[in-house]
Chains A and B, each alone.
Chain A
Amino acid sequence: MKLYQIVAKDILRRKKRVIYSALGVVVGTMTVIGILTIALAGEARIYNQLEKYGPNLTVIPAISNVDMRLGDLSLGTLAVGENYISENHLTDIRQIADGEIRQALGIQDNVNIATIAPKLYINTEVNGISVIIVGIDPPEENKIKTWWRIREGKYLDRGDQALVGVVAAELLGLKVGDKVTLSSNDTTVSGILDESGSIDDFQIFVPLVTLQKAFGKEGLISSIDVRALCSACPVEVIADGINRNIPGVRAVAVKQVVAAEMGMMDRVNKLMLALAGITLAVGLFGVVNTMMASVNERINDIGIMRAVGASRNQIIKIFIYEAIIVGIVGGIFGYVAGTLLAYIVAPLLFEGTVITFIPQYLPLSLALATLIAVTATVYPAFRATRIKVADSFRSL
């Protein structure tokens, strides 16, 4: 017979007490695992959107834009007056972007890598309603706006076509085949975009050249979105290169904007972890209490074991084995309960988060739960072995 067998048999006899001890452990680990799961899901959501949507960096005219900030929070930029970038910079930007990516990834050939989508924004009236017309490079724009879906009709494939956002189409009463007059040039609605929940819903998209010609803005663009389809792409380096080499423009890595949001999340996470820590401490006291009771109700058993030759260390070991079992049981339930907690709470905190079981948190949960249980057990067990054997029988 081994010590752990004595423990196992004893636990089987006192199932309820052991489950009760494990409950305190479960509450503690549940909170920590729940909060970590929520935090991870929140971050994953931001990174996902970053990966999935939009450019890695945006190039805008340098002087006409004012950063709107509220403390550390970026509220975007506000364009002041009419300012444009020369179309000639497109080739320079492509050279810088592709050059940096080639260097970073060790690519030799000369194929275009980055997607570079220029845009021209014109505010005009269509059917008597003020609307923003966006001039785009249709194939490049399509690569950047991966989430675009055509609700009716087709994507742009000729110069005299227009693609209309779903809200704009509704407001202006436009259908596929309808005419949209830009200044004096006519275009035909080739398709209507599906709802995306973004500003795109309110805009009309036409080929860049068509818009430039219609409003006399030949060779001018308002902004350029650059997207490199790799996570290792040196976005900041590209932005730096553009800022240093091309006068009159400013490249902003979207990550920098996201960084502000991440910073906010980070602070929320820290607050939640602090709360989890407090819960853990309270849980620990609960477990110390139940363990204390568990040790006390076995003072007699401890006396028996010592009378037949158990050393103090063996007694403490027996209690630690029990604590480890409580920890493992508590850790597994804490992990499951924590994930469930995240599943319920996360949607209230961050819209659209997806909660799944995070396997690498299982060992963490087990370790944490075992640590709590063992910590809570050592002292009561140690104290119990200090009692004289004769006194442990007398306490009955």
Chain B
Amino acid sequence: MLQIKHVSKIYGEGATKVVALNNVSLQVNKGDFIAVMGPSGSGKSTLLNIIGGLDCLSSGEVILEGKRIDNLDENDLVSIRRGKIAYVFQQYHLLPSLSALENVLLPLTFCGASKERDKAADMLKKVGLEKRAEHKPSELSGGEQQRVAIARALVNEPSLILADEPTGNMDQKTGGQILHLFDELNKDGHTIIMVTHDTEIARHAEEMIVLQDGQIIDRINRERRGE
């Protein structure tokens, strides 16, 4: 469903030039759960941002469901964000003035969808937070905030979920619960690309992709891991 062909990303020019991604190619199939690994500065997040259209690439192609999305204008990107791709961030990125339920509602609000409240409530239930619906993000724990963020990502029924270090701000136990949630989502048929620097976390994925200095240096699937 997703093809990344010879993608490069270069920041700055001349002496300050930084190559964040160097000719990266990748194929992701429907239902895949892929972990992108690598030390910090290896280009993991940049890759994720480029796939999701949050950042633009310097060269190469990104093809989602048969359509190029790397050269879209803002309006087309908006429609991709409204249905095809959803994000889960390390810092949760919830709006502080809205309750948990309202944060989940947000994508539907921007779409102008109807019967939205029921759907948002369902999603909160799915992540086990139906009792915290009216709480503001500041009144929720890190794990709870991330669950809200995951519910928000799911509410538009995206074909692809991009997660950037979703457990990076959590202790092991809470992080484990969140990862379990991702496992569940993957079992339900969601395609997930998750960035992490932690091998343990990456084990949840079917396939690990190791990035270093902007290049894929290794791909490890479950068979190779001996699982």
Which residues of chain A have a CB within 8 Å of any CB of chain B?
1-3, 6, 9-10, 12-14, 300-301, 303-312, 314, 388-391, 393, 396
Contacts and interface: CB of A to CB of B under 8 A. Distances in A.
B55 A390 contact: yes
A303 B164 CA distance: 15
A180 B53 CA distance: 105
B29 to A, nearest CB: 25
Given A6-B98, A390-B55, A300 B93 contact: yes
B94 interface: yes
Contacts of A391: 55
Among all A-B residue pairs, the 4 with the closest Cβ atoms: A390-B55, A309-B82, A13-B97, A390-B54
Contacts of A300: 93
Most B-side CB within 10 Å, residue of A2, A305, A396:
A305
Nearest to A10: B97
Interface of B: 49, 52-56, 74-75, 78, 81-82, 86-87, 89, 91, 93-98, 102, 105-111, 116, 152, 156
Nearest to A314: B110
A308 B49 contact: no
Contacts of A301: 95
A388 B110 contact: no
A308 B110 contact: yes
B107 A309 contact: yes
A311 B109 contact: no
Given A10-B97, A388-B55, A390-B49, A1 B81 contact: no
Contacts of A308: 81, 86-87, 106-107, 110, 152
B95 A304 contact: yes
A77 B95 CA distance: 76
B81 A306 contact: yes
B109 A3 contact: yes
Contacts of A390: 49, 54-55
A226 B74 CA distance: 76
10 contacts: A1-B105, A6-B109, A10-B95, A307-B81, A307-B89, A307-B93, A308-B87, A312-B74, A389-B53, A390-B54
Most A-side CB within 10 Å, residue of B75, B78, B107, B110:
B110
B136 to A, nearest CB: 9
B95 to A, nearest CB: 6
A228 B116 CA distance: 72
Contacts of B91: 393, 396
B66 to A, nearest CB: 22
B156 A309 contact: yes
Nearest to B93: A304
B87 A305 contact: no
A305 B95 contact: yes
A33 B83 CA distance: 50
A33 to B, nearest CB: 32
A299 to B, nearest CB: 12
Contacts of A314: 110
A340 B106 CA distance: 44
A304 B86 CA distance: 11
Contacts of A9: 97-98, 102
A310 B108 CA distance: 10
Nearest to B98: A9
A305 B110 contact: yes
Given A1-B116, A393-B89, A393-B93, A307 B54 contact: yes
B110 A310 contact: yes
A311 B78 contact: yes
A307 B53 CA distance: 9
A13 B93 CA distance: 17
A301 B92 CA distance: 12
Contacts of A396: 91
A175 B102 CA distance: 87
Contacts of A312: 74, 78
Most B-side CB within 10 Å, residue of A306, A308, A314:
A308
A3 B82 CA distance: 16
A391 to B, nearest CB: 8
Nearest to B102: A1
A313 to B, nearest CB: 9
Contact of A311 (B108, B110, B152): B110
A316 B89 CA distance: 24
Contact of B54 (A1, A3, A10, A388): A388
A13 B138 CA distance: 12
Given A1-B116, A309-B107, A390-B49, A13 B96 contact: yes
Contact of B93 (A1, A10, A303, A309): A303
Contacts of A6: 95, 97-98, 106, 109
Nearest to A308: B107
Given A13-B97, A312-B74, A305 B54 contact: no
Contacts of B109: 1-3, 6
A53 to B, nearest CB: 61
A393 B89 CA distance: 10
Contacts of A393: 54, 89, 91, 93
A143 to B, nearest CB: 70
A177 to B, nearest CB: 85
Contact of A309 (B89, B97, B111): B111
Contacts of B93: 300, 303-304, 307, 393
Nearest to A13: B97
A307 B149 CA distance: 12
Nearest to A301: B95
Contacts of B102: 1, 9
Nearest to B108: A1
Contacts of B116: 1
